[in-house]
Amino acid sequence: MGVGVLSRYGPLLPITGDTPRVTLGEGDTPLIASRHLADEVGCQEVYLKLEGCNPTGSFKDRGMVVAVAKAMEAESTTIICASTGNTSASAAAYGAHCDLTTIVLVPKGAIATGKLAQAIAYGAQILSVNGNFDRALELVRELSDKYPITLVNSLNPHRIQGQKTAAFEIVDSLGDAPDYLAIPVGNAGNISAYWMGFREYHEAGLAKKRPMMMGFQAEGAAPIVRGAPVENPETIASAIRIGNPASWSQALTAQDASGGLIDAVSDDEILAAQRYLARREGVFCEAASAASVAGLLKMSREGHSLAGKTAVCVITGTGLKEPELAPSQTDIPTQDVEAELDAVERVLALADVSATPKQR
């Protein structure tokens, strides 16, 4: 198996001999067993799929590599997307790698610092739209209809195709699908992609079962849970601050066909889960990513029978993208100290501790 989604899963993707096999090393992300979360929720095992380990720090790279390779195959020279941040970071990276012009429309003032820094660094043309994500998406749809520019939002079916490979990887490493798959839901492309992947592996006889798909929206941006679009979605989790998901019906299909559930979690629950992951598991993720774990914790509180079950929580992106959220992570301020040993010892209250070095 080579490096990247196209070479690892090529035969299961809609690519041809003419599709360039580009890669930035996306996919093949770690699936780690939790140390504490399984006990906390009463599961036999909880695994964390660390999608923040992708080249631009989120799962978006899996679908972007396919969308960009197909754009190149079609001899397109310009790609465009609307983005809450991670899609633009990914599009800009693959656009740079493949010599394409990348145009991104982001909601003004509503995108995380790290994500904007990425789009700038990779040299995308960035338009800061005076409106929310849903409006920016309407605009790029119109532009890509009107001009020879390739849309690389998850409305582009190649994005979903690439993203389904995460489900393949989970089955490849566990030997079967888990009982539950917990995942944040924003534009709902990813939950649809995982369901496609699990279904395909099951149909091909590569998995004995299919997981129950448990999707979690933020309470202030939960159109699927409410059953109606949310005009002004509000949540601290900017990656899922979406009021009218493009893959709404596919997400409902994933929920219904799997016997799963799409539910909402509050910002407080999201921040608590983000903190739990960082402090107890050593995994620092984006706020949006923590919605999967917040959802699993909620299921446990509400009495879902998790005993003997395995769950996978999709950790969609890295916390390094949102440095502005770090203060909410901690009530312990940093401590200033003089650059002297005795001063450091005093601050750490080490006076009573034996000075003998620890045996190793």
Ligand X SMILES: *Cc1c(COP(=O)(O)O)cnc(C)c1O
Q: Applying CB under 6 A, which part among 98-106, 186-194, 259-267, 302-310 lies near ligand X?
A: 186-194
- Please, what is the minimum distance in Å from the beta carbon of residue 237 to ligand X? 8
Number of residues that bind ligand X (CB under 6 A): 18
Report yes or no: 90 and 61 within 8 Å, Cβ to Cβ: yes
Question: Where in 227-246 is the site for ligand X (CB under 6 A)?
Answer: 239-240
- Please, what is the minimum distance in Å from the beta carbon of residue 226 to ligand X? 16
User: How far apart are alpha carbons 231 and 222 in whole angstroms?
Assistant: 11
Query: Which DSSP category does 220 fall into?
Result: T
Token pair recorded at residue 211: 């997981």
Closest Cα to residue 159, out of 220, 246, 85?
246
Question: Where in 21-60 is the site for ligand X (CB under 6 A)?
Answer: 58, 60
Question: Where in 99-158 is the site for ligand X (CB under 6 A)?
Answer: 154
Token pair recorded at residue 3: 């490096």
- Please, what is the minimum distance in Å from the beta carbon of residue 233 to ligand X? 12
Report yes or no: 75 and 150 within 8 Å, Cβ to Cβ: no
Q: Applying CB under 6 A, which part among 5-13, 104-112, 185-193, 329-337 lies near ligand X?
A: 185-193
Q: Applying CB under 6 A, which part among 1-9, 74-82, 168-176, 178-186 lies near ligand X?
A: 178-186
Burial 282-321 (b: 16+ CB within 10 A, else e): ebbbbbbbbbbbbbbbbbbeeebebeebbbbbbbbbbbeb
User: Smaller CB distance to ligand X: residue 29 or 154?
Assistant: 154
- Please, what is the minimum distance in Å from the beta carbon of residue 86 to ligand X? 3
Closest Cα to residue 82, out of 18, 143, 153, 13?
153
Residues in the chain: 360
User: How far apart are alpha carbons 80 and 274 in whole angstroms?
Assistant: 31
Closest Cα to residue 66, out of 241, 196, 176, 246?
196
User: Smaller CB distance to ligand X: residue 190 or 274?
Assistant: 190
Tokens 């145009």 correspond to what residue?
Answer: 103
Among 316, 319, 322, 325, binds ligand X (CB under 6 A): 316
- 260 binds ligand X, rule: CB under 6 A: no
- 187 binds ligand X, rule: CB under 6 A: yes
Question: Where in 79-98 is the site for ligand X (CB under 6 A)?
Answer: 86
Report yes or no: 297 and 41 within 8 Å, Cβ to Cβ: yes
- 317 binds ligand X, rule: CB under 6 A: yes
User: How far apart are alpha carbons 315 and 64 in whole angstroms?
Assistant: 18
User: Smaller CB distance to ligand X: residue 144 or 190?
Assistant: 190
Q: Applying CB under 6 A, which part among 200-208, 227-235, 259-267, 282-290 lies near ligand X?
A: 282-290
Among 27, 95, 184, 211, binds ligand X (CB under 6 A): 184
Residues that bind ligand X (CB under 6 A): 58, 60, 86, 154, 184-190, 239-240, 286, 288-289, 316-317
